[in-house]
Homo-oligomer: A and B are copies of this chain.
Amino acid sequence: MHIFYQPNLLSTDILLNEEESKHCVRVLRMKIGDEVQLIDGKGTSAIAKIIDDNPKRCLLTIIEQTTHQPLRNYYLHIAVAPTKNFDRMEWFIEKAVEVGIDEISFIETENSERSKVNLERCEKIAISAIKQSKQFWLPKINGVKNCNQAIKELRNEGFKLIAWCETDVTQNLHSIITSSLHSKITNPPTHHITIFIGPEGDFSKTEVDNAIANGFVSVSFGESRLRTETAALYACIATNVLLAK
């Protein structure tokens, strides 16, 4: 069944926006009486029937609603310095959403190559990825914030890691998560994990020191030098592998 994203499923009758209406009626050639699935990105899905197949204002009526529990027993927030070539970030968003992530932030660091991101485009990719991977929860995506400011705001927030290439001062992700965190993960109470991923030129020593002073633990992803978007996805998959039910 075709899936449409509709952030508000509170009323019985649902009007698709112009883009979704066109997709439904013109591209998929759906007609009055056909059924679609609606998801609100906040854990609710619905089966709805088309009652007006207008290609600009397609109207649906909800037949049944289902509430879904979150798939994960942890909350994962990855904050990443956006790459110059934004395709690489879009790719990260798509893949991280498929695997499972709750919040994505963009940070401006001393060595950043980009300070602006198109949040609307990021959200479109995330919506497409939850549809593709049959999920019901849309991650929160935040605009660019100064790295040190973001560190400060997160100082009282759960378990925090900063990925850094200087391996002599860092620990392996597996050992950190297994020793420090695994025992604290309980079900259903969620556990809040934040991982900071730096730009191609890495975080500065000042940024890492500031993170550590605010309760972050520095972590290494092994001896291979990963690109920013690879490191960000590595963090997402590693957390999933180590902590998912």
Q: Point out residues on A near B: beta carbons under 8 Å.
A: 71, 91, 95, 98-100, 132-135, 172-174, 222-227, 230, 233-234, 237-238, 240-242, 244
Chain B positions within 8 Å of A132 at CB level: 225, 227
Q: Is the CB of A95 within 8 A of B233?
A: yes
8 Å CB contact of A237 from B71, B98, B134, B233: B233
CA A225 to CA B130, docked complex, whole Å: 9
Find out whether the CB atom of B227 lies under 8 angstroms from the CB atom of A98: yes
Decide yes or no: A230 and B134 within 8 Å by CB, A238-B237, A242-B241 being known contacts: no
Given contacts A132-B227, A224-B71, A230-B95, whether A241 and B173 have CB atoms under 8 Å apart is yes
Write the chain B residue with the least CB distance to A238: B241
Instruction: Return the chain B residue nearest A91 by Cβ.
Output: B91
Residue in B133, B172, B173, B225 whose beta carbon sits within 8 Å of that of A224 in the complex: B133
Given A133-B224, A241-B242; 7 other pairs, CB 8 A cutoff:
A91-B91, A95-B233, A98-B226, A134-B225, A234-B241, A237-B238, A238-B241
B174 lies within 8 A of A242 (CB)? yes
Question: Which residues does chain B contribute within 8 Å of A134, judged by CB atoms?
Answer: 224-225
